[in-house]
Copies of this chain bind each other. A is one copy, B any other.
Amino acid sequence: METENGGSGYVEVMQKSERPFTPLVIIEFTVGTKQAAIEWIVGKIQKSKAAGGADLDVNAVVMHHKQGITETVLYVGGSTERLLWAADMMDIKKEYCDGYYREFSVDDVSNFRGSKDLDNFLTMSEKQKIILHELEVIKATDDDSAIPGYDRVRLYSGNSVLKKYVSNGIIAKMYPLHDEEEIKRLGAEWYQLKQFAKEQPIHHIREYFGEKIGMYFAFLGFYTIALIPPAFIGILYLITSWKSMYREAIFAVFNLIWATIFLEAWKRYCSELSFKWGQAQDVELNRSQEPRAMYHGTMDKNPVTGKPEPHYPKYKRSLRFYGVTVPVIGFCLLVAFYIMLGYFYLQAWADEVYAKDKTWLNMSLLHMPTAIYAVIIGVVNNFYRKIAKILNDFENHRLQSSYDNHLIVKLILFDFVNCFMSLFYVAFYLQDMTLLRSHLAALLVTQQVIGQVREAMVPFIFVRRRKQQVDKVMKKEAAIQKVEYFNGELDQIVQKQVNLESTMDEYEGTMDDYLEMFLQFGYVFLFSSAFPLAAFWALLNNVTEIRSDAFKMCRVFQRPFAESASNIGAWQVAFEIISIIAVITNCALIGMDPEVKKLLPSDISAVNIVIIFVAVEHVILALKGAVAYCIPDTPKWVEIELEKMSFQTKQALHADRIAASSSQQKKLGDLLKLETRETSI
């Protein structure tokens, strides 16, 4: 290996590669990061796997600003061979010659589809995912006690070095690069106006952004289409003069069954996607998956693979969950409840004051409680999200999926209480239908109108923002006195791209997007008998939401690292629970409706009316359960394909065991003959 003698201290660590270099992932250090820390990690990234490194290619660009500050950016890439080997180790699934997705294996590469062109065998998002993984698994060794230059940042054997850099703010940003050509093509299919009525290019989205984001957009699209029938009926009710007493009841029952069918149909579609994307696993191999980078514990052996890894006993996690998380969250929910009570109390007081003395001043007082409530909720919400994150980290989950699911539950609980508790209070404690209707309409319509205006503004804001960004980049470039390259100069176009993407916002993940859909789903189905137009508003919102989300994904945010997903995780359960609660709320709402009560024979006692509605509720719940049970979660063809795949696996395994043992094997016939001879002797 040659080393290049540059102008600064990278000399010793920089290994010049002779291969053409394509940068895939960008690492930006905080301005003023100590040289030693940069050198040390660059060394780690370049070192061979055997030496505890990542064996990747790095180009470093050091920008000396006129103000005397220095900015360092690493461009990380990897050779095709290196990335393929990593794909093998990571069990990345690729399409096999038999059409099934199988775990990629280097030794068997020629049997995978697309292996003629090895450089493009892995997609760009796969390569970036691999690089992220390889960077994250750089572990501190026994000799590493602290990050060089940062003695306060202690390292313990087994720590993920990269995560330490990130969590201590030494690395400011890390993101994969966009593929300019591909993103243009994807955008044209996805968010342009002429595509308005077309399906989303789900498979293309998945290829570019990974399965997790692909799943989100598939769900969003599926849910939006599912809103059409209830929205249509809602409109029909609005414009027709048909004023039967039953209309709310009929609508509610339709909605409840529709929600169940939608969720079941989604499960089927989801398992179809999951199969097509090679994400359908026969067994949930949880324990053999690698733990999250932040997972900690005493070093132990993985019970399945036998590899060394940290172990954190389950009872400790349970202790933390039941001993800390549950009480803290309970307390938070209680606080939220009391804040809501305070709001209703204040509102009642304001109403009273206004009723006594109808001055303008007092009229403005009428809106004060809502305003105060909104502000407090905003603050509390923000605070709670931080607590939820801290608690979730504290629980020390081993897998990313279980980490995510626990975080989802925490956020859902709080948002549910925040958004729906007041509605429940109005509906079932105050039992004021008029207030419920207006409160619900106000909440939903206000949120949606604001949301839609905001979404519609996105492209305009983007154009202005992009201009600002370009200006910023130009200004920055102008301020640069000297640029040093290590490992050869980089393409100017790539550098421009990096400078631009660096100023873009980071995509925060699908959590908030799902949460928005979840709350909307609640508004639409929980009180559908009180406000039938909800579905229409939601539909209107989502149609624009899809396109503006798409635009944001492609143009506003930094590219996110691809993550795999075989379903929407805890969200499925969350939506199902809402659909169960919706049965209860709607039955109760209809049962409480004085109009409906008039319809029943007058000699039925109040108690019997309640019992009738409870019985109806139980029947609907049972029906819902039966419908969910009768619709298979997986389409027949996927089931057959999956079984075919594991049948072939089984047969191959059979063949393998025979091959493996054939050398020292006595044939059955010989064995039997031998036995007979022995007994006859």
Closest beta carbon of chain B to A492's beta carbon, Å: 24
> A163 vs B647: C-alpha distance in the bound complex, in angstroms?
29
* CB<8 Å pairs between A and B, sample of 22: A81-B669, A81-B672, A105-B657, A107-B665, A108-B654, A108-B657, A108-B658, A109-B671, A110-B661, A110-B665, A111-B657, A118-B671, A282-B282, A283-B646, A285-B643, A288-B643, A288-B647, A304-B644, A305-B647, A584-B618, A652-B657, A655-B656
In the bound complex, residues from chain B placing their C-beta under 8 Å from that of A81 are 668-669, 672
> A364 vs B618: C-alpha distance in the bound complex, in angstroms?
42
Check A109/B656 contact, CB under 8 A, given A103-B650, A283-B643, A675-B119.
Answer: no
- Out of B111, B584, B614, B662, which one reaches A661, CB within 8 Å? B111
> A649 vs B647: C-alpha distance in the bound complex, in angstroms?
13
Assuming A111-B661, A304-B644, what are 20 further A-B pairs, CB within 8 angstroms? A81-B668, A81-B669, A103-B650, A105-B654, A105-B657, A105-B658, A107-B665, A107-B667, A108-B657, A108-B661, A110-B664, A119-B675, A283-B283, A304-B640, A605-B606, A606-B606, A607-B610, A652-B653, A652-B657, A656-B656
Q: Are A80 and B672 in contact (CB under 8 A)?
A: yes
Residue A681 lies at the interface, judged by CB distance under 8 Å to chain B: no
Residue A578 lies at the interface, judged by CB distance under 8 Å to chain B: no
Residue A386 lies at the interface, judged by CB distance under 8 Å to chain B: no
In the bound complex, residues from chain B placing their C-beta under 8 Å from that of A658 are 105, 107-108
In the bound complex, residues from chain B placing their C-beta under 8 Å from that of A640 are 287, 303-304
Check A643/B286 contact, CB under 8 A, given A81-B669, A119-B675, A656-B653.
Answer: yes
Q: Are B304 and A643 in contact (CB under 8 A)?
A: yes
> A584 vs B621: C-alpha distance in the bound complex, in angstroms?
13
> A81 vs B672: C-alpha distance in the bound complex, in angstroms?
8
In the bound complex, residues from chain B placing their C-beta under 8 Å from that of A649 are 649, 653
Q: Are A118 and B675 in contact (CB under 8 A)?
A: yes
Check A285/B646 contact, CB under 8 A, given A111-B657, A656-B653.
Answer: yes
* Interface residues in A, total, Cβ within 8 A: 63
In the bound complex, residues from chain B placing their C-beta under 8 Å from that of A614 are 610, 614
> A636 vs B607: C-alpha distance in the bound complex, in angstroms?
48
> A429 vs B345: C-alpha distance in the bound complex, in angstroms?
44
Q: Mark A293-311, 1 if CB is under 8 A from B, else 0.
A: 0000000000111000000
Residue A62 lies at the interface, judged by CB distance under 8 Å to chain B: no
Q: Are A644 and B111 in contact (CB under 8 A)?
A: no
Q: Are A665 and B282 in contact (CB under 8 A)?
A: no
In the bound complex, residues from chain B placing their C-beta under 8 Å from that of A668 are 81, 84, 106-107, 109, 118
Residue A540 lies at the interface, judged by CB distance under 8 Å to chain B: no
Residue A193 lies at the interface, judged by CB distance under 8 Å to chain B: no
Closest beta carbon of chain B to A412's beta carbon, Å: 15
Considering the complex, give the chain B residue whose CB is closest to the CB of A105.
B654
Could you tell me which residues of chain A, from 279 to 332, have a CB within 8 Å of some CB in chain B?
Answer: 282-283, 285-288, 303-305, 314
Closest beta carbon of chain B to A386's beta carbon, Å: 27
Q: Are A283 and B282 in contact (CB under 8 A)?
A: yes
State the 3 A-B residue pairs at the shortest beta-carbon distance, nearest first: A656-B656, A107-B658, A282-B283
Residue A642 lies at the interface, judged by CB distance under 8 Å to chain B: yes
In the bound complex, residues from chain B placing their C-beta under 8 Å from that of A664 are 110
Residue A197 lies at the interface, judged by CB distance under 8 Å to chain B: no
Considering the complex, give the chain B residue whose CB is closest to the CB of A80.
B672
Residue A611 lies at the interface, judged by CB distance under 8 Å to chain B: yes
Residue A69 lies at the interface, judged by CB distance under 8 Å to chain B: no
In the bound complex, residues from chain B placing their C-beta under 8 Å from that of A653 are 649, 652-653, 656
Residue A50 lies at the interface, judged by CB distance under 8 Å to chain B: no
In the bound complex, residues from chain B placing their C-beta under 8 Å from that of A107 are 657-658, 661-662, 665, 667-668
Residue A659 lies at the interface, judged by CB distance under 8 Å to chain B: yes
In the bound complex, residues from chain B placing their C-beta under 8 Å from that of A84 are 668
Could you tell me which residues of chain A, from 583 to 628, have a CB within 8 Å of some CB in chain B?
Answer: 584, 605-607, 610-611, 614, 618
Could you tell me which residues of chain A, from 244 to 289, have a CB within 8 Å of some CB in chain B?
Answer: 282-283, 285-288
Residue A666 lies at the interface, judged by CB distance under 8 Å to chain B: yes
* Most B C-beta atoms less than 10 A away, residue of A107, A660, A664: A107
Check A118/B665 contact, CB under 8 A, given A105-B658, A606-B607.
Answer: no
Q: Mark A86-122, 1 if CB is under 8 A from B, else 0.
A: 0000000000000000110111111100010011000
In the bound complex, residues from chain B placing their C-beta under 8 Å from that of A661 are 107-108, 110-111
Q: Are B644 and A303 in contact (CB under 8 A)?
A: yes
In the bound complex, residues from chain B placing their C-beta under 8 Å from that of A118 are 668, 671-672, 675
Considering the complex, give the chain B residue whose CB is closest to the CB of A288.
B647
In the bound complex, residues from chain B placing their C-beta under 8 Å from that of A646 are 282-283, 285
